[in-house]
A and B are shown apart, each in its own frame.
Chain A
Amino acid sequence: MADITVEKLTESRKQDLDLTLLTTNSDGLKKIINNPELHRPGLALTGFYERFASKRVQILGETEATYLSQLSEDRLKKISRKMFDYGLPLVIITKGIAPPAGFIEAADLSGTCVFSSKLTTAELTTKLSAYLDHLFAPSIMVHGSLMDVYGVGLLYTGKSGIGKSEIALDLVERGHRLVADDVVKITRAAPDVLLGNSSELLGHHMEIRGIGIIDIEELFGIRAIRLQKRIEVEVNLTLWSETEEYERLGLEDKKTKVLGVEIPIVRVPISPGKNITVISEVIAMNHMQKVYGENAALEFTKKLSQTLSRQSVTKDYLESDFE
């Protein structure tokens, strides 16, 4: 969660949303937006303030603007003042419409910014909503590495020093792409979508024990990196242990929850001489196959059951044959 000031939001989205500031009181630029939702104050303008979502960014479309313009000066002043008294964070009027002077006066008096946007209400709502949703999406930092292997986002987790960076390096060498190493920022972009990227400072740097810090983009070029990737499978690396039991069939997908989103988790034991790179590629391909509706483990066990039942039919036939 990151609250944003009106100034930062309108500066960074100025071109995209085609914004022009209509008010002169600069206090409004310092106001903080802490709600990703938008509100159209149609009913509030008519004087109905029950359930008025005043903490949200207010969007005035052509309908609201037309309503305001046909009001008497007195009524406009009264209504505008009442609305701005709620301490609105920001007001945007669409289609480049200039609101009546009394409305702007009331905004300046209360220290609220009013912007005009050349976009239509639908365009503005879509763009601003997407931006605010992304900004307010829950996110966490995770210790691990994120790789794009054949287009599947694999998140490597495991204890420090287990070799996550080395596996990532090996995968890069085989033509796969690094998203982030050591610190992965995960954002819940949609109710069931996790996006991972690197922190601005770390970029595509990596620490390899014995060598130090290296820059993957410098060493391997642009083909070896990716800025952002949907996380599809977690690969949890553990030291191989005699007493631990590992998955042998893969009939059921083990799941883990990250920010409330369920993703499959594969636990891979590590032991000297084991080629995790190839295993990683197999995990990615296996995941893709499941996405396309093929499940190798399930198909194989089906075949086995068929063979078993066929054998017993033959056996029954031979046993009951007295010719």
Chain B
Amino acid sequence: MIKRTAIVTNRLGLHARPAALLVTTATKFESQFFISKDSIRVNGKSIMGVMMLAAEMGTELILEVDGPDEIEAMAEILKIIESGFEEST
């Protein structure tokens, strides 16, 4: 199991489109993926769960990836979050 933290950097926060991007990326991997914000922990492969976090810009997320392809999965997930979900601002 790998555990990392990441900060939401895009202006609009983790809204519908970034959530969808994050979930589709995570779903490509076999490993389980959980995201936590404060005391709420949700399945990172569930779009409703990820959106429920309502993580605005500057929020610290705790990412947990567990499974056979956890290293690759974590790298991809971190890349997406750190790039601000490929949004211009």
Chain A residues close to B by CB (< 8 Å): 141, 143, 160-161, 181-183, 199, 201-202, 205-207, 213
B52 x A160 contact (CB < 8 A) = no
Question: Do residues A183 and B46 form an inter-chain contact, with CB atoms below 8 A?
Answer: yes
**When A and B form their complex, what is the total count of cross-chain residue pairs whose Cβ atoms lie within 8 Å?**
39
Contact residues in B for A143 (Cβ distance below 8 Å): 42-43, 46, 49
CA distance A143 to B42 in the complex (A): 7
B15: which A residues are within 8 A, CB to CB?
none
Known: A141-B42, A182-B43. 18 other contacts (CB 8 A): A143-B43, A143-B46, A143-B49, A160-B27, A160-B43, A160-B45, A161-B45, A182-B47, A182-B48, A182-B49, A183-B42, A183-B48, A183-B49, A183-B52, A201-B51, A202-B48, A207-B47, A213-B47
Could you give 28 example pairs across A and B, Cβ below 8 Å? Answer: A141-B41, A141-B42, A160-B27, A160-B43, A161-B27, A161-B45, A181-B48, A182-B43, A182-B46, A182-B47, A182-B48, A182-B49, A182-B52, A183-B42, A183-B46, A183-B48, A183-B49, A183-B52, A199-B52, A201-B51, A201-B52, A201-B54, A202-B48, A202-B51, A205-B48, A207-B47, A207-B48, A213-B47
Query: For chain B, which range describes its interface: under 10, 10 to 19, 20 to 34, or 35 or more residues?
Result: 10 to 19
**Which of B's residues lie within 8 Å of A, judged by CB?**
27, 40-43, 45-49, 51-52, 54
Ordered nearest first, which 7 A-B pairs have the shortest CB separation? A160-B45, A182-B48, A143-B43, A183-B49, A182-B46, A207-B47, A199-B52
Residues of A within 8 A of B41 (CB): 141
How distant is B3 from chain A, measured CB to nearest CB, in Å? 18
User: Complex formed: what's the CA distance from A238 to B47 in Å?
Assistant: 20
